[in-house]
Amino acid sequence: MASCDGELQWCFSQVKGTIEEEVTDADIISCVEFNHDGELLATGDKGGRVVIFRRDQISAPGGQRRGEYNVYSTFQSHEPEFDYLKSLEIEEKINKIRWLHRSNPAHFLLSTNDKTIKLWKIREKDKEYHGFNLKDEQGCELEPSCISGLSVPKLRPKELYVEASPRRIFANAHTYHINSISVNSDQETYMSADDLRINLWNLEITDQSFNIVDIKPANMEELTEVITAAEFHPNHCHTFVYSSSKGTIRLCDMRAQALCDQHAKLLEEPEDPTNRNFFSEIISSISDVKFSHNGRYLMTRDYLSVKVWDLNMDTRPVETYSVHEYLRTKLCALYENDCIFDKFECAWSGKDRYIMTGSYNNFFRMFDRETRRDVTLEASRDNMKARCILKPKKVASGNKRKKDEINVESLDFSKKILHTAWHPEDNIIAVAATNNLYLFQSKD
């Protein structure tokens, strides 16, 4: 699974998506999420579709599981809408997908666009009812006067198919765009966050939610920050965090009070005044926040770095990893082309040793927390041989560059890895690159 020095070596496994020069906006992947045992992998796109892949039940030599995923179900989760009261178009783009723990043969997931959250039930069906009294064999309604006797409907075998049906629709609770949803560890409640508020929902109740955070000022001209991401603690159902555009992370405890405007802990790294410039506040905005699987650490992603915080030490991050420091001199150009506002996500490995996040030019970065080594890899169709080890990439920031290095001036900022996911148990990663989903696994 790793090289002789303990480092993971990654191989190409699969790529899903079409090879097209002109990519339609609706096909761009907007979120990626493994379920809790990693057997299913869901993607959402800007066209409002959810595609679920299932891992093949095939064992490779040596008892290892192969990481091949094939399409299991595809359905339209959200449609474009129009808010007539505010004269606003509501996009169908899927912002987030979150799986619920499995408690019966069916699977459940939450998906959300800017305004509406839906709970979907995904189940396999291989039987159907026949012999209804009020319908004929084609399913057409019969006249009651034509019915001469009663029959008992019977189940008949049918070719297996996967049905996705909406079980709950949670709407009309957010004034601003929803940026996060997170299922609580109690599996009974979840929260949804927009720019200024966080709401707590019961999964069984669609017409009522509780506002647990509200940072909207009485005068909107006094607004200084917005909520950028929120997540529940993986083990403690009363604890959650939310991050802000000012680079702060607030840890809240719902046992203290109903409205969690007063945080239990504030995680913030003081800014070095010598580094302050026009772009400082923009690049310090946190785009993603993730608890480690064991619940002790918190990972945050800002524009140039990934930081790991120990919840027992809130004065400063215990680890800081530079993602693409060579872009610090390019912030003016990135501001002009709006790339500086890109929201990169991050992911923990199953045992919390490795962390992963994306960059530009279809590059993604991986950091080993034990050895402090890092590697830059590329999601590309040029390297699609099965079991072929990915070659590390290096970017040269100066005028001089070595043979294998790529000059920072030649990076393609239209190709960006914003969404990544790591299998909860195995070293399999999913990387979304525009309309393609790449799957890589460690070399056995």
Q: How many residues does the chain have?
A: 444
- Decide: 105 and 123 in contact? Cβ < 8 Å: yes
| Three-state SS at 323 | coil
User: Which residues, 6 or more positions from 424, have their beta carbon under 8 angstroms from its beta carbon?
Assistant: 34, 36, 37, 38, 293, 350
Match 């939310």 to its residue by tokens: 242
Amino acid at 61: P
Would you call 360 exposed, middle or buried from its count of C-beta atoms within 10 A (0-12, 13-18, 19+)? Answer: buried
One DSSP character per residue, 140-174 reads PBPPGGG--S----EEEEEEEEEEEEEEEEE-S--
Dihedral over Cα of 311, 420, 25, 45: its sign: negative
User: Which residues, 6 or more positions from 126, have their beta carbon under 8 angstroms from its beta carbon?
Assistant: 157, 158, 159, 160, 161
Q: Is the pTM of this model over 0.85?
A: yes
Q: Between the CA of residue 283 and those of 356, 412, 432, 433, what are the distances in Å? A: 19, 20, 22, 22
Token pair, residue 244, equals: 């802000």
> What is the distance between the alpha carbons of residues 124 and 161, in angstroms, rounded to a whole number?
6
> What is the distance between the alpha carbons of residues 77 and 50, in angstroms, rounded to a whole number?
6
Residue 331, H or E segment: helix 331-336
> What is the distance between the alpha carbons of residues 7 and 3, in angstroms, rounded to a whole number?
5
The domains found in the chain, sorted by start residue, are 10-124+161-442 (2.130.10.10)
Q: What share of the chain is helix, strand, coil (3-state, %, to 5)?
A: 10, 45, 45
Write down the pLDDT at residue 4.
41
Amino acid at 109: L
**Along the 444 residues of the chain, how does pLDDT read in single tens digits?**
444 456 789 999 999 988 777 789 999 999 999 999 999 999 999 999 999 999 987 655 555 556 689 999 999 999 998 877 777 889 999 999 999 999 899 999 999 999 999 999 999 887 777 767 777 666 677 777 777 777 777 777 777 789 999 999 999 999 999 999 999 999 999 999 999 999 999 999 999 999 999 999 999 999 999 999 999 999 999 999 999 999 999 999 999 988 998 899 999 988 777 777 889 999 999 999 999 999 999 999 999 999 999 999 888 999 999 999 999 999 999 999 999 999 999 999 999 999 999 999 999 999 999 999 999 999 988 877 777 889 999 988 766 777 778 889 889 999 999 999 999 999 999 999 999 999 999 986
> Rounded to 5 degrees, what are φ and ψ at 164?
-110, 120
Task: Give the HSE-up count for residue 201: Cα atoms under 13 Å, Cβ half-sphere.
Answer: 25
> What is the distance between the alpha carbons of residues 45 and 51, in angstroms, rounded to a whole number?
9
> What is the distance between the alpha carbons of residues 142 and 212, in angstroms, rounded to a whole number?
53
Write down the pLDDT at residue 387.
75
Q: Between the CA of residue 371 and those of 6, 22, 305, 324, what are the distances in Å? A: 9, 42, 18, 19
User: Which residues, 6 or more positions from 138, have their beta carbon under 8 angstroms from its beta carbon?
Assistant: none
List the end-to-end C-alpha distance of the chain, in Å, as a whole number: 4
Write down the pLDDT at residue 156.
76
Give the closest residue to 266 by CA, choosing from 279, 249, 244. 249
Phi-psi region of 361 (alpha: psi -120 to 50; beta: other; left: phi over 0): left
Write down the pLDDT at residue 183.
98
Give the bridge partners for 427, in sequence order.
none
Centre a 10 Å sphere on the Cβ of residue 350 and count the other Cβ atoms it contains: 16
> What is the distance between the alpha carbons of residues 320 and 316, in angstroms, rounded to a whole number?
10
Amino acid at 159: E
Would you call 176 exposed, middle or buried from its count of C-beta atoms within 10 A (0-12, 13-18, 19+)? Answer: middle
> What is the distance between the alpha carbons of residues 162 and 297, in angstroms, rounded to a whole number?
38
Write down the pLDDT at residue 359.
97
Match 């890109």 to its residue by tokens: 342
**Angle, vertex CA 153, rays to CA 148 and CA 157, nearest 5:** 140
| Three-state SS at 210 | strand
